[in-house]
Structure 1
């Protein structure tokens, strides 16, 4: 799928959400995997991926793991369908409504409008969405960027959110500590809150390192103050992502943090082509464990516990404890964290682990501020 096609699909999402939901259940069921409806079970949890797919080694894969784990522990079936483009979002939700799903979890900010519309049209079905607050999704600021009022606008919809600025702060500090060139970089897929919150934290962590150490490590690819930076226009690996990564490497960055599902794969290609010892910081999952093709260049990963969040929401819904209060993952509750250094354990500064532990405690008690304009309200 080309970048132009992807943008066109995203632009038509609102219209699709409204028109298709007037004919809920009438669209053909898309290709997908998972359990079928079990007549013996009174509860069927279901999931729709975004167009990154369930094999993205990132948040979609983690979401599915959470769904499958919760279903297994509860002794029930689950059903999931994969989206191959933004055009699939509403039809996929409709197919799960037709399958009599009791809870439909959608994975990713890009499904916000389709999820909100479906929840409003089907008040007897429970919905949850990863990385969106369900807070007035239709609103936009003067620049056309989505905004919300901070209040969940559907009783049957539950946001699954993560204050990843906290863990990304640790990642930025680690990147600055490891860098040999004094330049580190980050870039994103789309300029949306679940992406920029990582980039904010990364830059803030570098800034804190500079303050503590009297250094001047530079961040390229993102400016916290102006909220401007480098974006590929989507979450697919490919030419755009590799070009973005190469642009940062050309500015002498030797640590890169790509934020946007599989785009890290293209960044890894650029790093390996350059062959100058640059490294990656993964996001969402511990990429060292999920993708062995790049584990030799993974410094660490800024983890977002999508699997744990999904599992908690599924179990609560099954047990009758569902409400629309957002689930927010933090350092304190284990919902976000920095992964181990794995192969780089002996290559980082010997005092880094202790410094990160102190910083984490400071973020948790509020003495160190790790904040982002995109942080979820708690």
Structure 2
């Protein structure tokens, strides 16, 4: 865990199209709207595809560029001010070229370092961790300002015209759990104009000997493998393990800063779903902190979520106020988080 100072100049967010509520989802996929509300706890989500035609309306490049542009405008920066770009995603637009390079091109960036990290929800924390380490710490790199982006476009992997009758819950859940979107932050080595300070980042693999709870196959030119489900979700394992992992992360973050739960003004909990978020928040027991959650309205859009939470936190966080964020990835069990202070 690194504790060197890094400053957040601004945030940005991008969601595709209008929100899709559970009634529209139920009509399209034949699921029960009340089941979605009660079991998943998500009210709306945004899809980068047209539900009627199945045509893709937004790429990850589109959304990541829009979020980054908003963050740059809010920070008052031009392309020439950016020294590097980091993108965390589980759903790049293609294997090559890397989506981060398409985003850099859209933003008018050139001669800058670019990095793309492939992971699930924890990828956002990994991207933040890498971004803060890329900032100049007296090593002569000259990196003073960088863009860190997280986003996913999950809907493009769904077969919208399939009959969902009789589908196993491990596959059906993916049609109601996920959404699409992107978020971004501008990191700086200097405090001038900063909204908050990024105090610490935790990024840990904890999956030794544990079976993955989420698997997404990437079919190449050979096509799908007969008898192999493309996307699987062990929701029971997630429900059992994630709350405890979240508690571990929060305690480690607080111990690293010498903080107590009572020092927190805001809590950014894991955003697996609306229902799971409620369960985790109760387990974390930070009663004095205001919860900053977005998943019930945005759907689980993976790497975008911690950035969307930061975007929601930015106008709320006052000088001296503290916040802790926790992110859990169930694919092969990763835990992460970070702390910030208002300036």
Q: TM-score, normalised by structure 1?
A: 0.27
Q: TM-score, normalised by structure 2?
A: 0.29
Query: Where is the helix percentage greater, Structure 1 or Structure 2?
Result: 1
Q: Which has the larger radius of gyration?
A: 1
Q: Which has the higher contact order (CA 8 A, sep 6+)?
A: 2
Query: Where is the strand percentage greater, Structure 1 or Structure 2?
Result: 2
